Amino acid sequence: MKKNKLWGAGATMLLAIALVVSGCGAKNDNNGGGSASNDSASNGSAGGSEESGIIKDIKDRGKLIVGVKYDTKLFGLKDTASGNVEGFDIDISKAIAKKIFGDESKIELKEVTSKTRIQMLDNGDIDLIVATMTITDERKKQVDFSDVYFKAGQSLLVKQGSPITGLKDITKDSKVLGVKGATSIKNIEDKVPGLRVMQFENYQEAFAALKAGKGDTLTTDNAILYGMAKQDPGYTVVGGTFTDEPYGIAAKKGNTDLVALVNETLKEMKDSGEYATIYEKWIGEKPPTE
Amino acid sequence: MISFRQVNKHFGNFHVLQDISLDIAEGEVVVIIGPSGSGKSTLLRCINRLEDISDGVLEVDGAAVHDKGTDINALRRRIGMVFQHFNLYPHLKVIDNITLAPVNAGGVSKEEARKTAKMYLEKVGIPDKADSYPSELSGGQQQRVAIARGLAMKPKIMLFDEPTSALDPEVIGEVLSVMKLLAKEGMTMVVVTHEMGFAREVADRVVFMDGGRIVEEAKPADFFERPQQPRARDFLSRVINH
Amino acid sequence: MLDFSVLTNNIDDYLEGFKYTIYASLLGLAGSFVLGTLIAVFRISPFAALRGFGTAYVEFFRNIPLLLVVFLFYYGLSSFGLQLDGFTSGTLGLMVYTSSFIAEAIRAGIQSVPAGQMEAARSTGLTYVQAMRFIILPQAVRIVIPPISNQFLNLVKNSSILGVFAGLDLMYFGDQVNLDTYDAVSTYLFVGMFYLILTFPLAYATRVLERRMANAA
């Protein structure tokens, strides 16, 4: 927490510097180029001198370009009727744009998929990935992640009023539904020895089976379960997450000042209650307390 | 034993039987003759309700055949029937062809039925064919099995529907002799046939039908010597000369 | 190309699935035959109501995809409070779907038995049902063995529909093996091999039966 605060302060300072020196990009670049240690994230001023470049670029461009999903319920979904892309990821992205420009509309959304997003980031097609991206050690080698902005993980969807309130209520005789090929099947079968998950072709079928009473609970990523619960209020996500797959916002490796700005934004949103508002708006319940 | 009163039958618009009134007494052998399409087979088939009559009264052995409420299966157990094309059950051995109805409809034990069946096979002259399949028998043998099958329920009446029409000439005799034997034993028989010799020799009465009506009925001697109706005369001249 | 370790490493899954495929097939075979015979008898019954029911049954079930028939049992019935699992729904669906084809084959077989057979049987005092049972059906069966055996083979193969409804059959476990091994070619070739273990003897038995019946008649 303390570190976060320091980071926030650093980011604010960097932002201030960036504001002051905007318009003098060439001079800044020279400075940055002269600094040998600009890769060191801990070196605020050295990093700042170069990394203020990306923020300056964004400002010069006049808009923030964010890679988001277009096909993911609750997080980034294109409304076929209006053509608008909407979701939790989108609202977070807008808050970052607002932080930079003071205007949340100075943003351009580009569609990414799990396969394309890192490539697009590396190519400079997008400034940030806000696209249900789980923070993993593997990915940390490729991109820089912000703090966790959504605690994703495997959870349980049950009918309202179900005696199942969490993983502890699942026995090997429970009727658990899942989707073929999902890692979530292995996870829960490992956690509940002897359990055999009934597996379906896709999430629609698994949810249909749950609704038809074919099982006691449906398990997969909570992000997907929240989408189902939203679709049918008769169902609810219980027991928190029993796997840890936190979502982070990714910036191109080395763009630590942009990451810092994102973290600052997230913190401010949390402090102001805006995060909770957005969370509740999309996910349908209050964000979990830390 | 059998009594038709003003019986009519229609096949759609076709008036097959018109105002049939006929009485057949117990032990009587009645031969029905007439040109094809005259309704004689239909008349025969009405007796055990293989055909429903359209109106009129038809009573057989005290049962009202025209009445839908009559237990027709019970009546049919008292009536044996022999068909032109034998209609043996090809998937069953001769013995099983004969015992099927006694065992399943007659409430007779299997052993009892087999004994009776063998007795009748003896009677029709083919005791050694009990374990053959119908396809292994000649036409004459098949028809004799069919007679044994008809007799197996120990019926009061036997119906014969052109029993020799599908047979080769050389085996007709063996079937007719079995029928003569039955007649001699006092069985009530109604026979549709083209065998004028059989009619003349065995029948107590000949019924001549044409166009769905009974045109003439008489003792065989009278009928064959002095037919009263022009149509009967015409028919006889054609069959006899043939 | 064919990696036998896919089979040996997952033999438990294969055998588990094979077991349920056998159950579904045997139950389906028996059920669809009995049901199909019954419907066929309805189809040619002297009672218009039964005929109508038989016709409606056949035309409904043989003209919709098997998937939908199983859907009906799996989801349709649960809205009436009857909760069937994937195996049961799938097996019932197979039975009902296949029975409509079998009913048609048997109806055609029955109607190919000469009318005189029924008349002869009825004339001895046998009831309609007895005549059907002792005389008509045994003869029809010989005629319908080839088309019915085709339906039986289809039934065994169609039992893979259970996999869609978590019915624990070969295909269901095959999918899981595939997701573990990422070797679809080997996985499904072995799945196919298990189906052959069932279908090949069935096809062979049919041929023997046909020959024996041809000799008997």
What does the block give as tokens for C60? 């409904």
Q: Is A181's Cβ below 8 Å from some Cβ in C?
A: yes
- Residue C164 is nearest to which of A177, A201, A214, comparing CB atoms? A201
Asked if residue A290 belongs to a domain, the reply is no
Contact A213 C75 (CB under 8 A): no
Q: C81 pLDDT exceeds 90?
A: no
Output the pLDDT for position A16: 53
Q: Residue A7 — pLDDT band, cuts 50, 70, 90? A: low
A110 and A138 inside one domain: yes
Q: List subunits contacting chain B, requiring 3 or more Cβ pairs under 8 Å.
A: C
pTM: 0.66
A171 and A98 inside one domain: no
Q: Which residues of A touch C86 (CB under 8 A)?
A: 198, 214
Low-confidence ranges of chain B (pLDDT < 70): 241-242
Identify the residue with better confidence: A145 or A186: A145
DSSP characters over chain B: -EEEEEEEEEETTEEEEEEEEEEE-TT-EEEEE-STTSSHHHHHHHHTTSS--SEEEEEETTEETT-TTS-HHHHHTTEEEE-TT----TTS-HHHHHHHHHHHTS---HHHHHHHHHHHHHHTT-GGGTTS-GGGS-HHHHHHHHHHHHHTT--SEEEEESTTTTS-HHHHHHHHHHHHHHHHTT-EEEEE-S-HHHHHHH-SEEEEEETTEEEEEE-HHHHHHS--SHHHHHHHHHHHH-
The average confidence (pLDDT) of chain C is 92
Range of the domain at A99: 51-151+247-283
Asked if residue A146 belongs to a domain, the reply is yes
Q: List subunits contacting chain C, requiring 3 or more Cβ pairs under 8 Å.
A: A, B
Asked if residue A206 belongs to a domain, the reply is yes
Q: Is C112's Cβ below 8 Å from some Cβ in B?
A: no
Q: Is A209's Cβ below 8 Å from some Cβ in C?
A: yes
Output the pLDDT for position A15: 53
The average confidence (pLDDT) of chain A is 83
DSSP three-state, residue B40: helix
**Annotation: CATH topology of C4-216:** MetI-like fold (1.10.3720)
Listed range (A3-17, A120-134, B170-184, C24-38) with the worst mean pLDDT: A3-17
Q: Residue C178 — pLDDT band, cuts 50, 70, 90? A: confident
A165 and A234 inside one domain: yes
- Residue A180 is nearest to which of C75, C85, C175, comparing CB atoms? C175
Q: A146 pLDDT exceeds 70?
A: yes
Q: Where are the domains of chain C?
A: 4-216
Residues shown for chain C: 217
Q: Are A88 and A283 in contact (CB under 8 A)?
A: yes
Q: What beta strand segments (E) does chain C contain?
A: none
Asked if residue A32 belongs to a domain, the reply is no
Q: Residue A53 — pLDDT band, cuts 50, 70, 90? A: confident
Helix or strand holding residue A128 (H, E): strand A128-129
Q: Is A166's Cβ below 8 Å from some Cβ in C?
A: no
Asked if residue A15 belongs to a domain, the reply is no
pLDDT tens-digit map of A168-184: 999 999 999 998 877 78
Question: How is residue B128 annotated by DSSP?
Answer: G
Domain total for chain A? 2
Asked if residue A289 belongs to a domain, the reply is no
Output the pLDDT for position C183: 86
Asked if residue A18 belongs to a domain, the reply is no
Q: Residue A115 — pLDDT band, cuts 50, 70, 90? A: confident
A71 and A199 inside one domain: no
Output the pLDDT for position A238: 93
Mind telling me how many Å the CA of B133 is from chain C's nearest CA?
A: 8
Output the pLDDT for position A37: 42
Output the pLDDT for position C130: 94
Q: A26 pLDDT exceeds 50?
A: no
Q: What is the CATH number of the domain that holds A60?
A: 3.40.190.10
Q: Is B132's Cβ below 8 Å from some Cβ in C?
A: no
Output the pLDDT for position A1: 44
| Optimal mutation site among C175, C179, C183, interface A, most CBs of chain A within 10 A | C179
Q: Residue A54 — pLDDT band, cuts 50, 70, 90? A: confident
pLDDT tens-digit map of A33-45: 334 444 444 443 3
- Residue C179 is nearest to which of A181, A198, A212, comparing CB atoms? A181
Contact C122 B50 (CB under 8 A): yes
* Average pLDDT rounded to a whole number, residues A230-254: 91
* Average pLDDT rounded to a whole number, residues C104-121: 93
Asked if residue A57 belongs to a domain, the reply is yes
Separation CA C62–CA C152 (nearest Å): 15
Q: A48 pLDDT exceeds 50?
A: no
Q: Is A183's Cβ below 8 Å from some Cβ in C?
A: no
Mind telling me how many Å the CA of B56 is from chain C's nearest CA?
A: 22
Output the pLDDT for position A98: 95
A68 and A133 inside one domain: yes
Output the pLDDT for position A17: 52
Q: Is B50's Cβ below 8 Å from some Cβ in C?
A: yes
Listed range (A23-27, A118-122, C158-162) with the worst mean pLDDT: A23-27
Output the pLDDT for position B242: 52
